[in-house]
Amino acid sequence: MADRITVIGWDGTPLTEAAAAALAAATLVAGAPYQLKALPVPPAAERIALGSIQLAARRIAEHRGAAVVIAEGDPGFFGVVRTLRRPEYGLELEVLPAVSSVAAAFARAGMPWEDAQVASAHGGRLRRAANLCRAHPKVAVLTAPGAGPAELALMLRGVHRTFVVCEALGTPDEDVTVLTSDRVADHIWRDPSVVLVIGGSSAGGPGGGPANGAAGEAAGWLAGRPVGYPGPDRGWALPTETYTGTGRTPAPPGAPADPGAPGAPGAPGASDTLPAHVRALVLARLGARPGDLVWTVGAGSGALAVDAARFGAAVVAVEADRSACARLAVNARRYGVEVEIVHGRGPDVLGELPEPDAAVVETGGPEAVRAVLSRRPERIVAVARTLAEAEEVRRVIAGAGYRADGALLQSAPLLPPAGAAADGPGLRLGMGDPGTFLLWGAQKP
């Protein structure tokens, strides 16, 4: 193993005294070709042009002498330090960081960034980075060859954002370009770059509170969260009455006359908003998380769509009723989340939507479930109005090669005895709801 291994972060400014001394004493120097050319590498030192970090780490482990690895900005932030610290290499490092490329990019833009999300598009993660940009109003994306600004903009087609593209930061060739997302794909960009993706229709970011912070507002306290986080609303699967415009949809043709039957007017499943306890199980089965894209088909007033977005997932809500779409937009703004609303009937519009990681069919029955499954989400949840429909939906899910399961969810309130004070002793079981048929599936390993 090398006698001493120093990882130097370089942002284009003069090296610190410690970094310059380490570089002058090095007998092996690894870095990008432009770094090896621009910095005073000792003439006798072995040079390694960094391509594969793993290969460089093995060579450094075999080297006898002082080794230096030169990296961009802060090498401990989405940088080479993680790989070099792997146990199989047995390397002990001294890290001398510079300003990270993300910090430099936000500085060039003149923006605060403690509330920003930071994502790397390396390793085939461009789609997940794009989903993060759909869900959050301020995201920095570290690009990679084949996953640059143009490819990111194409992933966000139809979603209006402002791109701040920072190329060759800290070098004489540095360039910062500001464009709307629809114009980014028309340009040829250098690799690698840092892209700031800014904007969105909501007044705030996930979790409540303003996304960027109004002038004069106190700074945030938790990195990656909006100023004002966590906001006044705790928990998830919020009570139905907290959403604007929740109510009942007209009874569908052939709905049961028995008001106690699932699918009857007034029963869960006939409402455009699922009860909170049902939404809680739906969210658990969806497993929505940052970087995911979730479809909600037949989204109604958007309670479930907003719930999923509050977990940090990107959400596309499909709804055929224009007034419900308007209520959904109000609810998304109220809770400070980004929800892309698509007006139309599920099976008719799904072909134009980006690939889902998870999906829920709130209305639409087996036809909508079949259409969603044709896009192969990892997980699906569907609401059925009758036992017969639940059986058919389960067959559709299982027939598509998914592990299928389901349940009838029923609940009843606990109330004080009749005529007793609300805080008095004793409880009675209130009238229960008739239940909601819920089916779910996950791709088999």
Which of 87-101, 163-177, 183-197, 259-273 has the lowest average pLDDT? 259-273
pLDDT on residue 207 = 40
Q: What is the pTM of this model?
A: 0.85
Give the integer Cα–Cα distance in Å for 170 and 109.
Answer: 14
The answer to whether the bond into 259 is cis (omega within 30° of 0) is: no
Using DSSP, state whether 395 is helix, strand or coil.
Answer: helix
Which of 8-22, 30-44, 252-266, 294-308 has the lowest average pLDDT? 252-266
Residue that has been written with the tokens 């004002």 in this structure: 228
CA-CA-CA-CA torsion sign (113, 114, 115, 120) = positive
269: nearest Cα among 364, 341, 335: 364
**Is 255 a residue whose pLDDT tops 70?**
no
pLDDT classification of 262: cutoffs 50, 70, 90: very low
Q: Judging by DSSP bridges, how do beta strands 138-142 and 117-120 pair with one another?
A: parallel
Q: Average pLDDT in the 149-165 region?
A: 95
Supply the mean pLDDT for the chain: 88
More confident residue, 200 or 170: 170
Give the integer Cα–Cα distance in Å for 250 and 377.
Answer: 30
Q: Average pLDDT in the 112-126 region?
A: 94
More confident residue, 71 or 246: 71
- Report the Cα 69 to chain-centroid distance in Å: 33
pLDDT on residue 404 = 97
**Is 171 a residue whose pLDDT tops 90?**
no
Residue that has been written with the tokens 């301020």 in this structure: 138
Let me know: does 372 contact 350? Beta carbons within 8 Å. yes
Phi, psi dihedral angles at 356 (to 5 degrees): -90, 150
**Is 300 a residue whose pLDDT tops 70?**
yes
Two tokens at 329? 């937009």
pLDDT on residue 218 = 62
**Is 51 a residue whose pLDDT tops 90?**
no
Give the integer Cα–Cα distance in Å for 129 and 118.
Answer: 9
Q: How many degrees, rounded to 5, is the angle at CA 138 between CA 292 and CA 297?
A: 35
pLDDT classification of 426: cutoffs 50, 70, 90: confident
Q: Judging by DSSP bridges, how do beta strands 339-343 and 314-319 pair with one another?
A: parallel
Which of 184-188, 226-230, 374-378 has the lowest average pLDDT? 226-230
pLDDT on residue 272 = 59
Q: Average pLDDT in the 359-376 region?
A: 96
Other CB atoms within 10 A of residue 345 CB: 17
Residue that has been written with the tokens 């072909």 in this structure: 351
pLDDT on residue 263 = 39
Other CB atoms within 10 A of residue 27 CB: 17
pLDDT on residue 251 = 43
pLDDT on residue 217 = 55
Give the integer Cα–Cα distance in Å for 400 and 420.
Answer: 53
